Structure 1
Amino acid sequence: MLPFLLFLPTLAFGATPSLWPLPQAMKHGDGVMPLGPDVLLCYGEDCEELPNDIQDGWDRAAPLIFSHSVSSSVSTTLTISIDDPSAELNLEADESYILTVSESTIEITSPTQLGYYHALQTLSQLVEFDYDSEAYSIPNTPLTITDSPRFAHRGILVDSARHFEPVPTLHRVIDSLTYAKLNVLHWHLVDTQSFPFDSPSYPDLGKMGAFSKEERYTVGDVEGVVEYARKRGVRVMVEIDTPGHAASWCKGYPEVCPSTDCTQPLNPSTNATFDLIEGLFKDLTGGKKGEGIFPDDIMHLGGDEVDTSCWSSSDDISKWMEDQGMDEDGTYAYFIGRVQEIAHGMGREVVGWEEIWNHFKTDLDPTTIVHVWLPGSSVGPEATKAGYRVIWSRSDLWYLDWLKTSWDSMYEAEPTDGIAEEDQHLVLGGEGCMWGETVDTSDILQTIWPRGAAIAERLWSDKGSTTKAADAEGRYKEFRCLLNRRGIEAAPSMNMIGREAPESPGGCLDQRR
């Protein structure tokens, strides 16, 4: 019988492969399988030609696995078995896989191409390079990993409105997400400071609302980012925050704002506001489920930090509210409901920040997904008890722009804390939020990483195997070094303040601030 171990974080560092995030289960022996860059890909029972996405997945993984140029006579067969190689990206998608390594062959079995992508990432961490012999190998063989994510929604929010993030930067962020098995780019596209998207229906939004003529996305730019992500198994969930965080809209269409002096929240008293929102949403979604430049089933509508005093200070809006028999809070509810209805009419489920729950509780449409973010929030237990789904991003724990939040605090945070066991299935997952006030291309990756890896493991791995940061520290340091070797500017792993540079010469594992 082959010796095996269940891969747990309490094992001595280096005793088994240093994988991040931890797989659900692994058994292994103590052999070594030689490996070379000459890998024969065998797809299906008859070694058929690989579907495009499957071939592309290998073409991306191979340079990560074989990062050194060597000559080798070792030939290996990678057998790939996938039930649905073009599965749709959504919350229900099956991302599981089985990776098996014997003395001479590697096998990946998955229901979808998504699990196959994850298996390749795991394989890329298993392969070792010997600098003395200039040879590749996989230790701890025979080896079998059976793996699947704990949560379906595992993301990073990127904010392109406080500072513009060029398309190549977004591509690099997406690449980095896949290394940690994260599967959602939450794209906070527009905000108070800028509107960097060229809407075909309302072109002055981008023309007037962007920081500059170069800091804008065309429809083709956005389509390219979404397709780039799709090919890598990453969903792109767009956020258009309303009615607050929308002052940039006024520059091109001042009629949708209360006044030139009090620009947000958006004007609820005119159909011009909702006509613009509907036109913009149609540009983004195509008006139907599964269509548009953002075909994802879920759309984030914000709804947070709404200071309604501008409405009362406007004579026209104040009179309109009086005529409708609504106060400020009632008008807020009216706005949220009407915008949700527009999104639902285009086949989208909707997410809103937790203020909409704090204000309206179960008066919200029951399909609403509540995004938990306030420090110390208890909304998760409240909303799930009432049957609402949640995404978890508590700012005191998972906001990446909070530079003094340590990786171990992020790691030991638990999205289901306080939630009854029978309601925990309503926690869709969570996100690390990379708000952009002090982030642009120059520092975004070292602010996301490596602390984002702590969030990634919490969202992927089994709850019981990943409770203590101290048990994960060795693997965490190794993963940061892996990111660096792949050209991702992950900051020193033991930083007291996120994204600070190393303070002195030293190896990757030893760098700290």
Structure 2
Amino acid sequence: MSLGERALFLDPKVRFIYNGAAQYGSYDHQNASSQNIISTAIKTTTQTLFEQNFIPWKFHPRHSDFEPAINASCTYIKSVRLEQSGIDSANVAKPLAGEVDESYSLSMKTNGQVTITAASSVGIAHGLTTFTQLFYKHSSGSAYTPYAPVSITDAPKFQHRGLNMDVSRVWYAPADITRMIDALAYNKFNRLHLHITDAQSWPLEIPALPMLAEKGSYREGLTYSPPAMAYIQDYGASRGVEVILEIDMPGHTSSIAYSYPELIAAFNEKDWSTYAAEPPSGTLKLNSSAVTEFLDTLFDDLLPRVLPYSSYFHTGGDEVNLNAYNLDETVRSNDTAILQPLMQAFVDRAHAKVRAAGLTPIAWEEMLLTWNLTLGSDVVIQTWQSDEAVAQTVGKGHKALVGNYNYWYLDCGHGQWLDFYPDVSQSFYPYYDYCAPLHNWRMMYAYNPLEGVPANLTHLVLGGEVHIWSEQTDPVNVDRQVWPRACAAAEVLWSGAKDDQGQNRSQITASPRLSEMRERLVAKGIGAEPIQMPFCTQNGTQCAL
């Protein structure tokens, strides 16, 4: 990247000239097409520049005259050329990791000539996103950049850059989720992983199993209908954010018992901590033909509706409690020697259904590393417990997603959500949660997804996800829980944790950029937290030690 110091203004009627009208691939499902990615990117760009921009007073000395003068000699950008050099693949809106070239280049000359070049429509969209981040709102209402001439050549280091959002413990309206997609796209994330069912509620409507959501949701109306889910998935696809659904199993499935109690073992036991990580306890029975039939019906209904919008489906597999199977009449044992082959058969059946539907399975790390299952080479393993888990996963030849809870869990540090009876209360004082402390942006920025991974296996690390669980998160506070800390992880996933000299990227240079990104998110209606007070952002490095 190189930036100059010449100011350019943007014509309110700026035109975007795209050369790709005749280059669209054959993929034309509803709106999730190449053309829609481009048209959505142009619409979002103009909205960001002219309606959701900000005056950057916080980043200049107090009472300084930082704005360029508007006069007859001003140069205006009247058009932006979008040059797509390649033809999009059929899967451009729902790629497997690495299938789409996301690179782009951006040139802005002092005469106002702007060109964005990319091999794919997604790359063009990324270039337009960067274009908006070069501009500010003038106090006159105009949009201007002080940085001409500009030359940027850019590409992501990691193919999978995502957020895992728990929409089962708490229900989020589709508008909350699409607002999250807007923020993800603006930070060049390309995956939204929806953890959409869990022990506490089942909000996902399955027409073939209508009682699941009718009885498993928290109340009537707090569900995701097929049209609502298709809208969310399509909204993401048109913005380069692939929406991946997760049905966690066999654990974290207690909510199924509200409609199909015969399928769940150890449901809602009073001593829940013996049988589950959280209340209510319960797990799908492990050797039950009724469970097999249920899952067949579930998958046959759901997976064809996933396929138009994603190439992945997440089958869960975390935190399975062995003791629950003591209460499973199809097993009546917590002996891993007995349970392991049953779990192998359970996961094999699930993954076979996923593959038969044209999708690639994702599973939590426990299935591979705790249960020692033999999984297909196509299965992507989502790690969360340690850096060692990443190294072990790739060492077994599997593609891995990173997201160590000690660094990239966004909900940590707010204290326990559990209450404690007086006789045990003191032993839990001062009531920290399991992943405390809160992981500040500097910690998230310092995390290296490739830590401990042998150099010859780094290609198996597809990328990673930050996670927002909902035990203490809901639509009121989700924006500030996620943003702008997730921006730090977004940059790690795009540019890598290390600079060209192999050192951690500098907080000193990152901090003002992150503060500026926070202002941009706020201008877009995202309730992101501040990074520093204006005194700091106005005074260079005065707030550095």
Q: Which TM bucket (shorter chain)? A: 0.7 to 0.9
What does 1:171-210 align with in structure 2 at a 5 Å threshold? 171-210=178-217
Deviation at 1:45, TM superposition (A): 8.6
Deviation at 1:68, TM superposition (A): 7.8
Which residue does the alignment assign to 1:84?
87
**Distance of aligned partners of 1:360 and 1:230 in 2 relative to their CA distance in 1, 3 Å threshold:** same
Which residue does the alignment assign to 1:13?
none
What does 1:484-503 align with in structure 2 at a 5 Å threshold? 484-494=522-532
**Distance of aligned partners of 1:199 and 1:397 in 2 relative to their CA distance in 1, 3 Å threshold:** same
Deviation at 1:75, TM superposition (A): 5.3
Counterpart of 2:114 (choices 84, 106, 118) is 106
Which residue does the alignment assign to 1:279?
297
Aligned-partner SS, 1:273: helix
**Distance of aligned partners of 1:471 and 1:31 in 2 relative to their CA distance in 1, 3 Å threshold:** closer
Deviation at 1:509, TM superposition (A): 4.8
**Distance of aligned partners of 1:383 and 1:52 in 2 relative to their CA distance in 1, 3 Å threshold:** closer
Given that 1:351 and 1:371 are in contact with CA atoms closer than 8 Å, whether structure 2 keeps it comes out as: yes
CA offset digits 1:179-215 (Å, max 9, x no partner)? 1111111000000000001101111110110000110
Distance 2:232 2:104 in 1: 26
Counterpart of 1:123 (choices 131, 137, 150) is 131
Counterpart of 1:412 (choices 436, 446, 453) is 446
Deviation at 1:260, TM superposition (A): 4.8
Given that 1:54 and 1:85 are in contact with CA atoms closer than 8 Å, whether structure 2 keeps it comes out as: no
Aligned-partner SS, 1:364: coil
TM-score by length of 1: 0.84
Deviation at 1:267, TM superposition (A): 0.9
Which residue does the alignment assign to 2:314?
300
Which residue does the alignment assign to 1:318?
332
Identity, in percent, stands at 28
Which residue does the alignment assign to 1:365?
376
Deviation at 1:362, TM superposition (A): 6.7
Given that 2:268 and 2:282 are in contact with CA atoms closer than 8 Å, whether structure 1 keeps it comes out as: no
CA offset digits 1:247-297 (Å, max 9, x no partner)? 0011111121125555622012222212221222222221xxxx6466311
Given that 2:80 and 2:115 are in contact with CA atoms closer than 8 Å, whether structure 1 keeps it comes out as: yes
Distance 2:266 2:373 in 1: 32
What does 1:35-74 align with in structure 2 at a 5 Å threshold? 35-44=10-19, 51-67=35-51, 74=76
Aligned-partner SS, 1:269: coil
Given that 2:234 and 2:309 are in contact with CA atoms closer than 8 Å, whether structure 1 keeps it comes out as: no
**Distance of aligned partners of 1:339 and 1:392 in 2 relative to their CA distance in 1, 3 Å threshold:** same
Aligned-partner SS, 1:81: strand
- Tell me the amino acid that sits aligned with residue 120 of structure 2: T
2:406 corresponds to 1:396: yes
Distance 2:198 2:374 in 1: 27
Given that 2:49 and 2:135 are in contact with CA atoms closer than 8 Å, whether structure 1 keeps it comes out as: yes
What does 1:474-489 align with in structure 2 at a 5 Å threshold? 474-489=512-527
- Tell me the amino acid that sits aligned with residue 144 of structure 1: S
- Tell me the amino acid that sits aligned with residue 483 of structure 1: L
Aligned-partner SS, 2:8: strand
Deviation at 1:485, TM superposition (A): 1.9
**Distance of aligned partners of 1:195 and 1:233 in 2 relative to their CA distance in 1, 3 Å threshold:** same
Distance 1:463 1:490 in 2: 23
Which residue does the alignment assign to 2:4?
29
Deviation at 1:51, TM superposition (A): 3.8
CA offset digits 1:411-453 (Å, max 9, x no partner)? 0001101111111010010111000111111111110001000
Distance 1:464 1:361 in 2: 33
Which residue does the alignment assign to 1:309?
323
Counterpart of 2:285 (choices 256, 267, 275) is 267
Distance 2:396 2:289 in 1: 33
2:471 corresponds to 1:471: no
Distance 1:181 1:45 in 2: 22
TM-score by length of 2: 0.80
Distance 2:82 2:530 in 1: 37
Given that 2:164 and 2:192 are in contact with CA atoms closer than 8 Å, whether structure 1 keeps it comes out as: yes
Which residue does the alignment assign to 2:340?
329
Distance 1:79 1:47 in 2: 16
Which residue does the alignment assign to 2:494?
460
CA offset digits 1:458-484 (Å, max 9, x no partner)? 000144336233331121112112211
Given that 1:408 and 1:469 are in contact with CA atoms closer than 8 Å, whether structure 2 keeps it comes out as: yes
Aligned-partner SS, 2:283: coil
Distance 2:368 2:50 in 1: 49
Distance 2:289 2:393 in 1: 32
Given that 2:93 and 2:240 are in contact with CA atoms closer than 8 Å, whether structure 1 keeps it comes out as: no
- Tell me the amino acid that sits aligned with residue 518 of structure 2: R
Distance 2:87 2:451 in 1: 35
Aligned-partner SS, 2:144: strand
- Tell me the amino acid that sits aligned with residue 483 of structure 2: W
Distance 1:68 1:493 in 2: 20
Aligned-partner SS, 1:30: strand
- Tell me the amino acid that sits aligned with residue 81 of structure 1: E
Given that 2:311 and 2:359 are in contact with CA atoms closer than 8 Å, whether structure 1 keeps it comes out as: yes
Which residue does the alignment assign to 2:66?
none
CA offset digits 1:39-67 (Å, max 9, x no partner)? 12222299999944422321111121123
Distance 1:206 1:304 in 2: 22
Given that 1:410 and 1:455 are in contact with CA atoms closer than 8 Å, whether structure 2 keeps it comes out as: yes
Distance 1:163 1:84 in 2: 41
Distance 1:155 1:181 in 2: 9
Distance 1:391 1:29 in 2: 38
Counterpart of 1:149 (choices 156, 172, 187) is 156
Given that 1:284 and 1:294 are in contact with CA atoms closer than 8 Å, whether structure 2 keeps it comes out as: no
Aligned-partner SS, 1:59: helix
Aligned-partner SS, 2:16: strand
- Tell me the amino acid that sits aligned with residue 266 of structure 1: L
Give the count of matched residue pairs: 467
Alignment gaps of 5+ in structure 1: 1-25, 495-501
- Tell me the amino acid that sits aligned with residue 327 of structure 2: S
Deviation at 1:326, TM superposition (A): 5.7
Distance 1:279 1:326 in 2: 29
Question: How well do the aligned residues superpose, as a CA RMSD in angstroms?
Answer: 2.9
**Distance of aligned partners of 1:369 and 1:283 in 2 relative to their CA distance in 1, 3 Å threshold:** same
Which residue does the alignment assign to 1:421?
455
